[in-house]
Structure 1
Amino acid sequence: MTHKSLVAAAITFSGLITAQTADSEFKFGAKAGYSLSTMKFFDNKLDSKSYFYAGLVGEQPVSSKIGIQAELLYTQIGGKQNVPFVQITDNDPQMINMELDYQLTQIQVPISMKYYFIPKFSASVGMNLAFNVSEKVRTEQIINGTDSQNYDGIKSLNLFPFLGAEYKLNDKFFVDARYNFNFIKINNGNLPTKIGFLQAGVGYVFN
């Protein structure tokens, strides 16, 4: 699944870039920042998980007020949960709290439409196509000889609608933030699982 996800993400992003680069006003750059995600099973909300993201961004102006943007990002989302666990040491059972760290490593392709209220400030709405590279559940304790298990039942492609905003510091640097909503479940099966996450960072435009 890993190589299929990477190929699908690359094809999606390169197709968008190819379609947009015909115009000389096309802007290309890089961005990186902080991600904070919240995961829930049904209505059971897990502890938040923080990570980073980094990748490439391209924007094609449609008019003085409208732009279409596509990105290719590497990141990780998920959540953390403490559950009771019986640990047996020297035939002496002890009840401890075991932390489960749900880790979805993704290649994300956010596609958005931006509206410029002023030349330096814009708001955006779009859809984040998130291709899962790996799905793991990690623990501090060794269980069955390992501290990492595959997290089964997760869809290969997750969809996150989002709203965001961007401010251009100058012709090269910008800061942005967006929230990816948990409207669509990320898994198959009878336990609906959803994730919402905030992304905030800084970017640099090459041209």
Structure 2
Amino acid sequence: MKKNILFGVLLAVPTLINAQKTQDKPISFGVKGGYNLSSMKFFDEKLDSKSYFYAGIVAEQALSPKFGLQAEVLYTQLGGKVAYSTVALIGSEIVETGDTTFEYRLNQIQVPISVKYYIIPNLSASAGMNFGFNISTKAESSNAITGTDKRNYDGIKTLSLFPFLGAEYKINDQFFVDTRYNFNFIEINKNNSIPVKVGFLQAGVGYRFK
């Protein structure tokens, strides 16, 4: 898995590395971080949303006064949770055990690649693909009577794909704010027996180095 993640990161940035050689259109680097809100679905059932933070690095290559190419490497977490009323067999009796909560967590290294269009010098819209490499996938169930059970969730692909649309506003030459929505168009499960999809909103701030 580590080799797959490294390979994906290397694929994400070759254009930007080569762009350093272009003197009239220099590459810019920065850092960013913010809030992540994900919405997970099993079949057509929507789980409760899960919020988390994201943080990472960003690089942008100007292609023209109106267009730019941007690549990022981010760490974040996706997932969802749901609760069901459950029962247990205790001795010879079936006893209600209250609600059992199931929570799913996907820890990811994400590599979003996007094309940016500058509507005005400080405001841009973007479209691209987010390559999410799962470094761990966990499932946890908890119940007041039966306790908590944690395990690896092996039904998720190592690589998840999320098409996205976004926008960015430059406060000044260094600071910016941005937001994007990553769509749940592509299933992230390994087989079709249990269709799993996840979409998520990201909003945050960033700083570009001079």
Bigger shift: 165-174 or 186-195? 186-195
Alpha carbon RMSD of aligned pairs, Å? Answer: 2.3
Alignment pair present for 1:103 and 2:105: yes
Q: Is the deviation greater in 106-115 or in 90-99?
A: 90-99
Report whether the alignment pairs 1:191 with 2:194. yes
Equivalent in the alignment of 2:6: 7
Q: Within the alignment, does 1:203 sit opposite 2:206 as a pair?
A: yes
Q: Once the two structures are superposed, what CA deviation does each residue of 1:143-180 show, in whole Å capped at 9, x if it has no partner?
A: 99963111122111000000000000001000000000
Q: TM-score, normalised by structure 2?
A: 0.90
Q: CA deviation at 1:41?
A: 1.4
How far apart, in 1, do the equivalents of 2:81 and 2:68 lie? Answer: 37
The TM-score normalised by the length of structure 1 is 0.91
2:182 is aligned to: 180
Could you say if the C-alpha distance between residues 16 and 105 of structure 1 is closer, same or farther in structure 2, counting changes exceeding 3 Å?
farther
Where in structure 2 are there 5+ consecutive unaligned residues? none
Kept in 2, the 8 Å contact 1:5–1:132? The answer is no
- Does the aligned pair in 2 maintain the 1:28–1:205 contact within 8 Å? yes
Q: Please give the alpha-carbon distance, in whole angstroms, between the structure 1 residues aligned to 2:142 and 2:132.
A: 27
Residues 12, 109 of structure 1: 8 Å contact kept: no
Distance 1:68 1:128, change over 3 A: same
Structure 2 contact 97–144 (Cα < 8 Å) conserved: no
Deviation at 1:127, TM superposition (A): 0.3
Question: Which amino acid letter does the alignment assign opposite residue 59 of structure 2?
Answer: G
> In the alignment, what sits opposite 1:49?
50
Q: C-alpha displacement at 1:126, in angstroms?
A: 0.2
Tell me what 2:172 maps to. Answer: 170
- Contact 1:5–1:133 (Cα < 8 Å) also in 2: no
Aligned pairs (5 A) from 1:9-158: 9-24=8-23, 25-86=26-87, 93-141=95-143, 147-158=149-160
5+ residue gaps, structure 1: none
Contact 2:106-2:136 at 8 Å conserved across structures: yes
Give the CA deviation at 1:206. Answer: 1.0
Q: Which amino acid aligns with 1:197?
A: F
Instruction: Show CA shifts across 1:42-94 (max 9, x none).
Output: 21111101001000000000000000000000000011111233357899844
Deviations 1:161-207 (A, max 9, x none): 00000000001000000000000000122111100000000000012
CA contact (8 A) 1:137 1:148 kept: yes
Aligned to 1:19, what secondary structure does the other structure show? helix
Aligned letter for 2:122?
A: K
Q: Does the Cα contact within 8 Å between 1:9 and 1:107 map onto a contact in 2?
A: no
